[in-house]
Structure 1
Amino acid sequence: MTLNENMSKTQTKHERVTLLKRTIEKVLADFIPKFDSFSLLDFPDHPNVGDSAIWLGETKYFLEQHGKHPSLVTAITRHSIDDTVRNLPDGPIFLHGGGNFGDVYPEHHAWREELLRRTKGHQVIQLPQSLYFKDMGRMAQTARAIAEHGNFSMLVRDHKSLEFAKQHFDCRVELCPDMAFILGPIERPVREKVDIFCLMRTDDEKIGYDAASTGSSGNLRYESSDWLQEDAAKIERLRHPDHLTRLKAARWGALRRSNYRNFGFHLMATDRLDRGLAMLSSGRWVLTDRLHAHILSTLLGLNHVVLDNSYGKLSSFIEAWTANTEGVFTMKTPEDAFRFISAELNRDSRA
């Protein structure tokens, strides 16, 4: 059975997660050369849970499939481009995946272009991204940076991004699922507290859905929040783990012996992921317009309804990878979602 035939077949969440993990491993096996050392750049040093899930999937992939930790990890908010370029190992440069390839997040994209200008000829591989440009002049600048670099290749997460990249960029491009699927199925960490947990965007990608007002007009127990708040003091402690913390961290195995910065990044990303998993698991159902709330709900085996973001990122991703997954539904408005979930809960109560 081909990949497309598998994707068109209705599957349980566990079956789909397993399929997508295998798909990533196959795509990357054909895409990534053998190497002795490598760098993984653009650590997501911010509270957004989804980017931490991607990072943990990326590092898990390299450890499982290549038996290696990155020789260099950096965060653009903490480490200068000069220091980054100066300390690069000989092997390939991998750029953290996600949804910041384009002009929605200009700081990250400007850094990416500057890195390409400073590393011409050095192999650079962009891990799976969604592409979006509002300004085609800005896109042309990116196209020049890629062409002049000469050794850049990229993975993208949806068909729209694939066609865009093939049309505008002079580089190798392949389709690949989001790296968070490498984490595999995850056990629900907490018991449900409400009927619906609404994980709704409050950033530049939001459409402005008002799930809270919708929920208050009905009889369902619900909570509505984003996942951009965290305990900053705790994160700083994790960033600089002391010797005792490192010794106690037996669960991380060989990671304790990797470089100090990588260990701190791993602790930070894990704390952020755990926070997001607990939020999602607090609902019998999840309603969201965040891509990684959809992905993590799938990993957790949670039934959920997905609304789109401002430029169709979620619908494009679902079309490529998670359509025909049991318990995953797409709708246009919170009102539609609340009505649907209410009917499903009533049906379950009568069963």
Structure 2
Amino acid sequence: MSPVQQSELITKLQDRTHDCLKEFIRPDEPIAILDFPDIRNCGDSAIWLGEMAYLQQRHAKRPSYVCTTDDFSPDELKTSAPNGPIFIHGGGNFGDIWVFHQDFRERVMELFPDRQIVQFPQSIHYKSPERLEQSKRAIGKHRNFVLLVRDEESFQFAKENFDCQVHLCPDMAFCIGSIKPAAPEFPVLAMLRQDKEQVGTVDFSAYPDIPKEDWITESRSKVRVAKALGAASALLHFTPSEMRLRKLDAAANNRFQRGIRQISRGGAIVTDRLHVHICSLLIGRRHAVLDNNYGKIRRFMNAFSGGTDLSYKATSLDDGIRWAREQADVAA
């Protein structure tokens, strides 16, 4: 894939994102964004930075209120953003795998029955019929919930189960745009999950020459320093909301840059993380893709990002490593 083709794909997905979101953002209204991902996963930070980039580039807007699930204040939201839409951060936690986030968004629906609530693009997965019924009731009762989803399967599921607007929309991380990576340090890097979405246990003993990593390890002190510097940059603005936004943006940037540095070290990459796939596209690096435990990555690739020669849908870890080694040999 040439740099021109890479740029065309990213621009196409950015334009499609704007088509999905533009009607919900009005110049005379503030916006709020809830559920900032204050976690180690670099992919969630990529989504957040894409959300911020979209608002700035397409609407010249910054959110008037942001929060994590821990510091959410309904009263402060009402003061900082008394009208306008309430957005909820996107990702892959709509359903009952990461139920804490689903509980949070349903609580927001209950607290703000008269405000439009827009869910940035999500993947949907439910295991429990009872939990699905609870979500159906919450969405049906609210009546002004807008759900953006990242794949066709989630779109069809939402249309069949939820009484709300549903739109098929790319992941917000593409709004970051193309990134120039550092030169690789070794031929192949394996970036594999170590959480509840991984598929079984991976036996990596046959590949002692290939680094096997994940991107959920971070220096807490560096993130704390980034947050402090971000908050300090807002001291002259005298608003708690602006200080919080700059602090959280700084944390997201710290995590995202760590992730980009990490994956740039591989000349080719093998991964089962959706945002390693997306970030590999942003840096123009070839990568073999395995899936997570409920098909999230293949579903997304089928909808938006799978038609390039930068990515390969591997049938197994062995197949992915074989392909990545071939790509590394060609590049060398």
Q: CA deviation at 1:79?
A: 3.2
Q: 2:166 aligns with which of 173, 179, 201?
A: 173
- d(CA) in 1 for partners of 2:88, 2:67: 10
Question: In the alignment, which residue of structure 2 is the partner of 1:332?
Answer: 315
Instruction: Work out whether 1:141 is the aligned partner of 2:134.
Output: yes
1:119 to 112, 125, 132: 112
Root-mean-square deviation (Å): 2.3
Letter in 2 for 1:102: G
| Equivalent in the alignment of 2:183 | 191
Partner of 2:226: 238
Shift of 1:121: 1.9
Aligned-partner residue type, residue 7 of structure 2? H
Q: CA deviation at 1:330?
A: 0.7
2:100 to 98, 107, 112: 107
Report the CA distance between 1:94 and its aligned residue.
0.5
Query: What does residue 3 of structure 1 align with?
Result: none
Shift of 1:75: 0.1
* C-alpha distance after superposition, 1:268-315 (max 9, x if no partner): 000000000001100000110000000000000000000000000000
Determine the C-alpha separation between the residues in 1 that align with 2:7 and 2:230. 38
Residue 202 (structure 2) aligns with: 210
Counterpart of 2:217 in structure 1 is 229
Counterparts of 1:281 and 1:212 in 2: how far apart (Å)? 21
Change (3 A) 1:334 1:209: farther
User: Which residue of structure 2 aligns with residue 282 of structure 1?
Assistant: 265
User: Deviation at 1:124?
Assistant: 0.4
CA distance in 2, matches of 1:211, 1:298: 27
What is the deviation of 1:181?
0.4
| Distance of 1:242 and 1:118 partners within structure 2 | 30
The code of the aligned residue for 1:56 comes to L
Q: Does 1:68 align with 2:51?
A: no
Relative distance call for 1:345 and 1:197 in structure 2 (3 A) is closer
TM-score by length of 2: 0.92
CA-CA distance at 1:82 after TM superposition = 6.3
Which secondary structure does the structure 1 equivalent of 2:204 belong to? helix
Q: Which residue of 2 aligns with 1:20?
A: 13
TM-score, normalised on structure 1? 0.87
Aligned partners of 2:230 and 2:148: how far apart in 1?
A: 37
Gap runs ≥5 in structure 2: none
Structure 1 residue runs without a partner (length 5+): 1-10, 249-253
Retained in 1: the 8 A contact 2:190–2:270? yes
Q: How big is each residue's C-alpha offset from its partner over 1:199-255, in whole Å with a ceiling of 9 and x where there is no partner?
A: 110011001352632422xxxx42111111111122122223377x5289xxxxx9x
Q: Taking structure 1 as reference, are residues 115 and 242 closer, same or farther at Cα in structure 2, changes over 3 Å only?
A: closer
1:71–1:89 CA contact under 8 A, matched in 2: no
CA distance in 2, matches of 1:293, 1:138: 30
Q: Secondary structure at the match of 1:286?
A: strand
TM-aligned CA distance change 1:345 to 1:191, over 3 Å: closer
Q: 1:259 to 1:82 in 2, by over 3 A?
A: closer
Name the CA shift for 1:230/1:348 in 2 (closer, same or farther; >3 Å).
closer
How much does 1:44 deviate?
A: 0.2
Range moving further from structure 2, 231-240 or 191-200: 231-240
How many residue pairs get aligned? The number is 327
